[in-house]
Amino acid sequence: MHSIIKKVGLSLLLSLGAVSLAQALPADFMDKLQADTRPEVDKARDGARRPYQVMTLLGVQEGWTVVDVAAGGGWFTRVISAAVGPNGKVIAQVGARALQNNNGQAARDMAEQLGNVELVFDETSAIAPGSADAAVTALNLHDAYNFRGEEGAQTFLKGIFDALKSGGVAMIIDHEGDEGANNADLHRIPTSVAREQILAAGFEIVTESDLLDTPADDHTLSSNDPILGRDTDCFLFIVRKP
């Protein structure tokens, strides 16, 4: 079934017009990722996170508006900024907590440096409905589900759904967990649970990719365990708003 979903997903992706994939990203994309202005800690994560491959898989193109949902320290914000180019826009949803823990200024400095980033110190629901071509959320769905249940997961996912234009796509990445495990303590979520929640939020699943699989991670360790070096086994969904 998994391989069938992937084949169907690829066909859908082609039909979305995201397939001059080799040409979709700007010619200077990799140069921007290697620039001295990009934090070394971000560059150190590229091997596990594969920025070129994930942006290509999502089909990001120059000039797009892309939401970085729960942007955190901005790894994806900087990657998306390079992918959409100076005529595109990144909406970095950092949330109100960034102001509470003094990360607000760091986010403002990043936005000023990149030049094509709009900060949202609020929930995703504050983003203008139907304003984004695409969205990315990485390693966040598990918290929404584990600590606030299905209601929390649906609120989180529907915020992304509403921000997208009709036909817009989103990438959902998270630490893979096993069914029946204490995933709240492990900071993980089973792929089956994520899939169920994604479909319940109204998305179509375009593809499920093994791009971020890490077989050495057996799911019994916390995703924060130092032994994993932040390289966990992650599922990756590309989904579409009908």
Report whether pLDDT(2) > 90.
Answer: no
Residue 132 pLDDT grade (very low, low, confident, very high; cuts 50, 70, 90)? very high
Q: What per-residue confidence (pLDDT) applies to 18?
A: 39
Residue 99 pLDDT grade (very low, low, confident, very high; cuts 50, 70, 90)? confident
- Region of residue 178 (phi > 0: left; psi between -120 and 50: alpha; otherwise: beta): beta
Report whether pLDDT(8) > 90.
Answer: no
SS3 43: helix
- Return the CA Rg of the chain: 17
Q: What per-residue confidence (pLDDT) applies to 7?
A: 41
Residue ranges of domains in the chain, CATH in brackets: 2-240 (3.40.50.150)
Helix, strand, coil % over all residues of the chain, rounded to 5: 45, 20, 35
108 vs 53: CA distance, rounded Å: 27
188, two tokens: 């993980």
Residue 136 pLDDT grade (very low, low, confident, very high; cuts 50, 70, 90)? very high
Q: What per-residue confidence (pLDDT) applies to 23?
A: 53
pLDDT tens figures, 181-205: 999 999 999 999 999 999 999 999 9
Residue 134 pLDDT grade (very low, low, confident, very high; cuts 50, 70, 90)? very high
From residue 54, alpha-carbon distances to 35, 87, 101, 159, 168 in Å are: 19, 21, 30, 22, 16
Q: What is the pTM of this model?
A: 0.88
Q: What percent of the chain has pLDDT over 70?
A: 89
94 vs 92: CA distance, rounded Å: 6
80 vs 224: CA distance, rounded Å: 24
